[in-house]
């Protein structure tokens, strides 16, 4: 049996895998950060700042995960492309991924071909993970915020 549009199938499967990895990474990171806050004997300020930097680092790792995946699909496998400049390097893919993940969408770079599915799904995933982080941060600060710090 011949699969129609094998590039599309490859992008969908790759996207599902990367989304699952990002969500699992996010869950485990927030769980570890929460446990650190609970167990830490450090001053309040250090615990809250550690939480903020931990959440930011988690998002950066997720952006890099999607960025390298987009680079791999387009540059190494030739499935789709990024347009807007003459040539792209891996940091351009990271930039485009960050802009898409945060739903800023400057529009100077855009995806073409089957890889668009990855980036469309990335926007939704980034929105959900950022919202999750905001809720987590609010809840943790409610639990640990003290008057007078």
Q: For tokens 């680092």, name the residue.
A: 57
CATH number reported for the structural domain that contains residue 62 in this entry: 1.10.287.70
User: What's the domain count of the chain?
Assistant: 1
Q: What is the pLDDT of residue 14?
A: 98
Average pLDDT, the chain: 93
CB 67 within 8 A of CB 96: yes
Q: What is the pLDDT of residues 68-100, one digit of tens each?
A: 999 999 999 999 999 999 889 999 999 999 999
Answer yes or no: is pLDDT of 148 > 90: no
Q: What is the pLDDT of residue 117?
A: 97
User: For 39-67, what is the mean pLDDT?
Assistant: 94
Whether this model's pTM surpasses 0.85? yes
Please give the C-alpha separations between residue 127 and each of 115, 119, 120, 124, in angstroms, as whole numbers.
19, 12, 11, 5
Q: What is the pLDDT of residue 54?
A: 97
Q: What is the pLDDT of residues 95-106, one digit of tens each?
A: 999 999 999 989
Residue 6 lies in a domain: no
Q: What is the pLDDT of residue 146?
A: 63
User: For 30-35, what is the mean pLDDT?
Assistant: 96
User: For 7-24, what is the mean pLDDT?
Assistant: 97
Structural domain boundaries, residue 29: 14-143
Q: What is the pLDDT of residue 1?
A: 63
Instruction: Measure the CA–CA gap between 96 and 90, rounded to whole angstroms.
Output: 10
Higher per-residue pLDDT: 7 or 147:
7
Residue 8 lies in a domain: no
Residue 149 lies in a domain: no
């Amino acid at each position: 049996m011949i699969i129609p549009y094998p590039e599309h199938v490859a992008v969908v499967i790759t996207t599902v895998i990367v989304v699952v990895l990002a969500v699992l990474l996010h869950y485990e990171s927030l769980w570890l950060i929460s446990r650190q806050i609970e167990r830490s004997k450090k001053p309040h300020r250090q615990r809250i700042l550690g939480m903020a930097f931990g959440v930011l680092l988690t998002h950066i790792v997720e952006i890099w995960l999607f960025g390298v995946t987009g680079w791999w699909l387009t540059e190494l496998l030739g499935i789709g492309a990024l347009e807007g400049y003459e040539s792209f390097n891996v940091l351009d893919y990271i930039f485009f991924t960050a802009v898409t993940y945060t739903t800023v969408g400057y529009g100077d770079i855009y995806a073409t071909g089957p890889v668009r599915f990855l980036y469309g799904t990335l926007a939704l995933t980034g929105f959900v993970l950022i919202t999750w982080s905001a809720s987590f941060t609010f809840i943790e600060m409610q639990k640990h915020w003290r008057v007078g710090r």
